[in-house]
Amino acid sequence: MRQILQDLKNGNTLLEDIPAPQPSNGCVLIETNMSLVSAGTERMLVEFGKANLFSKARQQPEKVRMVLDKVMTDGLVPTLEAVRSKLDAPIPLGYCNVGTVLDGGDTAFKVGQRVASNGSHAEVVKVPKNLVALVPDSVSDETAAFTVIGSIALQGIRLISPSLGDTVVVTGLGLIGLLAVQILRASGCRVMGIDYDSAKCALASSFGAQVVDLSKGEDPITAAEIFSKGFGVDAVLIAASSKSNDVVHQSATMCRKRGKIVLVGVIGLELNRADFYEKELSFQVSCSYGPGRYDKNYEEMGLDYPFSFVRWTEQRNFEAVLELMAQGSIEVGELITHRYKLSDATEAYAQLDDGRALGILLQYNSTGHRAAIKSTINLKEVPKSPTEPNVAFIGAGNYASRVLVPAFKGEGANLVSLVTGGGVSGVHHGKKHGFSNTSTSFDSALVDEVDTIVIVTQHNLHADQVIRGIESGKNVYVEKPLAINLDELERVELAIADCSYAVSLMVGFNRRFAPNVQKIKSLLSRTKSPKSFIFTMNAGAIPDDHWVQNREIGGGRVIGEACHYIDLMRFLADSPIVSFSAIKMGETNPSSKIEDKVIVSLSFEDGSIGAIHYFANGGKAFPKERIEVFCDEAVLQLDNFKTLRGFGWGGFSSQRLLVQNKGQKECVAAFLSSIKAGESSPIPIEEIFEVSRISIQVAESLR
């Protein structure tokens, strides 16, 4: 299928061939009939892409702070690589889609129904069910394509809560502003529109608004005074885009006492206290389509808000807009300035430079059935070495694309297939790294040509994907964790035990392969004495609603990341773990579900002991990772996998690397070498299961 993407490095608009998404529960698979280019939002994205690096930084100062923090902890080179990787990946464009249901999964939507959604500009889109609404028969595809834009306007109006006869000013008469004028008029409000564009003012006037044409020098303050009969307007809806703070000041001046100002556009927000204090004005920023926006439980998990308590959600706003369209209260015919076929997408986006462009529609050649939609596309034929493993990757996220794929490629592996959920990253990284094909179907990784699969997906998918790989006779490299609960782990163990193939299972516990860790291992081999370990991971905070923190998806940070340290301590102790204990910050709070500030104590069969301090509440000025080993009246200390120091260690004082090395490349090299030699996994399978089991048990003990 074809999809429109934007290159963040240079702002170029791309029409790429992408493998179609696969059906899944909780989502609706839709074949697109029509989509609308959002002139305001998408123009901003294109302009951001065309800006140089300095301009990009100025537009996102909060990201600059994050980059500087990363430099402090990880160093300059890894940080630059991470920034380049972010800017290198293209992003999908579009969020105003109307099409026909191909697969409704377990939702209430049926095959063949016409629906509107926030799907992107692509021939096939997969959209969570709460972001999809049925299109009435009387509403055309062209009209329905304006549903999402109309919902943005409607949500801003809902925050105003206008009453019959209220006077409302709409500042900015782009698509959102012009739709807002119509919705306000349908609500029985008197409306005044303000813009610099005479053509847009004329449209607003045709919809029943009084207008102020700034290009003609008309004074909006005076006009509002007359319009409100000297009382001041009841509310102002700001749908303009401006870096100036004057828009808010102007809005405050026009309002009556206790009037309302709602922002749906993008403007300067240095507010003047006096403007709001004297009139007791309220100011609110509207969040996109309505309640549910950016709430993962609502949008991704499909959990709806109770109708009685949240009357208007994103989806219900979609439905309300479509009903207004069916009633004829919203007319979009005069808002459409351009129509293009999808194949002419680059020409369509060139119209964004023309300030007169409003509704730009993209038309698709729908087939009406799934048979014509491909889940796998060929990229290019790359010569393959007959002596190297043929590898398929499942997942192309940041870690996979920046670290693991280059590591496997650097070790000479034949890169066959790259499987991703959405397809966009698969095409981009597939071309970049020389994969033969890319797909959205896991089955493409299980073909005879592939002998090794690398799994770098969300943690809740790992166990099932590992089992499918094993049962298909594939060697499996899975990024940690192997499983997120004991039931999954037991099923993986049974799959290995029952497997009739000579397959290798490897978990990406790369830290034990780091050069400085290998040096520690070598030094410790001199003694048989028990060791004392203190491992500190200054992990840094991530939001509580991040998928890693979700026990059902990510398993929590102990299972998802602290497992690295459990494995590393097991490796350096070179002795089985016999017991553990764990405590987390906030133990006295029964409702605490986050396990990211914990202390884990381990004891080993040989008498060694260790403590893992995994803290998400530390400062970035302190090293992110520190390893300390106490043994035979001497100490070894490793900071950030870069600087190793010996204290009282005869014949060794220090070893420093130029750049941080956590052993990722060495881990991959060891795995591929074992496959080629027909040997077992570089990490003994018993240790893999031991560490995985202890990690899960530690996490469960904290719940």
Nearest to residue 202, comparing CAs of 191, 213, 188, 217?
Answer: 213
Helix-then-strand count for the chain, H and E: 24, 31
At residue 373, the pLDDT reads 74
Distance (Å, rounded) from C-alpha 44 to C-alpha 103?
A: 33
At residue 56, the pLDDT reads 47
At residue 5, the pLDDT reads 93
Helix (H, G, I), strand (E, B) or coil at 92: strand
Strand 167-171 versus strand 190-195 pairing type = parallel
At residue 320, the pLDDT reads 98
Q: Do domains 149-285 and 377-508 have the same CATH topology?
A: yes
Q: Are 92 and 121 contacting, i.e. CB atoms less than 8 angstroms apart?
A: yes
| C-alpha distance across the termini of the chain, in Å | 45
CA 524 to centroid of chain Cα atoms:
42
Which amino acid belongs to residue 673?
S
- Look-up of token digits 């956590």: 662
Residue 620 to residues 534, 598, 644: CA-CA distances in angstroms?
19, 18, 20
Angle at 220 between CA 217 and CA 223, to 5 degrees: 105
Helix (H, G, I), strand (E, B) or coil at 212: strand
DSSP state of 269: -
SS3 breakdown of the chain: % helix, strand, coil, rounded to 5? 40, 25, 40
Q: Are 482 and 692 contacting, i.e. CB atoms less than 8 angstroms apart?
A: yes
Paired residues of 334 in beta bridges: none
Strand 210-213 versus strand 190-195 pairing type = parallel
Neighbours of 54 (CB within 10 A): 8
The interaxial angle of helices 563-573 and 685-701, nearest 10 deg, is 130
Cβ-based neighbours of 696, under 8 Å, separated by 6 or more:
481, 483, 484, 485, 486, 489, 555, 559
CATH class, range 511-701? alpha beta
Would you put residue 556 in left (φ > 0), alpha (ψ -120 to 50) or beta? Answer: left
Nearest to residue 354, comparing CAs of 331, 334, 338, 335?
Answer: 338
Helix (H, G, I), strand (E, B) or coil at 262: strand
Residue 485 to residues 459, 491, 544, 693: CA-CA distances in angstroms?
10, 10, 20, 8
DSSP state of 552: T
At residue 677, the pLDDT reads 93
HSE (side-chain half, CA atoms, 13 Å) at 579: 6
Q: What is the pLDDT of residues 620-640, one digit of tens each?
A: 888 899 999 999 999 999 999
CATH class, range 149-285? alpha beta
CA 294 to centroid of chain Cα atoms:
11
DSSP state of 131: G
At residue 589, the pLDDT reads 47
At residue 54, the pLDDT reads 52
* Helix ranges, 35-127 (H): 39-50, 53-59, 61-74, 76-88
Biggest distance spanned by C-alpha atoms of the chain:
92
Residue 66 to residues 49, 72, 74: CA-CA distances in angstroms?
20, 10, 12
Angle at 211 between CA 205 and CA 215, to 5 degrees: 115
Which amino acid belongs to residue 658?
L
Helix (H, G, I), strand (E, B) or coil at 574: coil
Distance (Å, rounded) from C-alpha 94 to C-alpha 348?
A: 13
Distance (Å, rounded) from C-alpha 467 to C-alpha 470?
A: 5
pTM: 0.87
Distance (Å, rounded) from C-alpha 637 to C-alpha 645?
A: 5
* Helix ranges, 379-485 (H): 398-399, 405-410, 424-433, 459-471
Q: What is the pLDDT of residues 500-525, one digit of tens each?
A: 888 999 999 999 999 999 999 999 99
Distance (Å, rounded) from C-alpha 228 to C-alpha 234?
A: 8
Angle at 158 between CA 156 and CA 160, to 5 degrees: 75
Q: Which CATH number fits domain 2-146+332-363: 3.20.20.70, 3.40.50.300, 3.40.718.10, 3.90.180.10?
A: 3.90.180.10
* Domain locations in the chain as residue ranges: 2-146+332-363, 149-285, 377-508, 511-701
Dihedral of CA atoms 96, 99, 101, 102 in degrees, nearest 10, equals -110
CATH 3.40.630.30 fits 377-508, yes or no: no
CA 199 to centroid of chain Cα atoms:
39
Structure tokens at 694: 């202890």
Distance (Å, rounded) from C-alpha 4 to C-alpha 379?
A: 18
Angle at 182 between CA 178 and CA 187, to 5 degrees: 140
Gyration radius from the chain CA atoms: 29
Neighbours of 303 (CB within 10 A): 13
Dihedral of CA atoms 60, 425, 436, 385 in degrees, nearest 10, equals 60
The whole-number mean pLDDT for each consecutive block of 10 residues of the chain, a chain of 703 residues, reads: 88 90 94 91 66 54 56 59 66 94 95 96 96 98 97 97 97 96 97 96 97 96 96 96 87 96 86 89 94 93 94 97 98 95 92 85 79 82 89 95 96 96 93 95 94 97 98 97 97 94 95 98 94 96 88 94 97 98 74 81 98 93 92 96 94 93 97 94 97 97 91
Paired residues of 378 in beta bridges: 437
At residue 590, the pLDDT reads 47
At residue 579, the pLDDT reads 98
Distance (Å, rounded) from C-alpha 453 to C-alpha 418?
A: 10
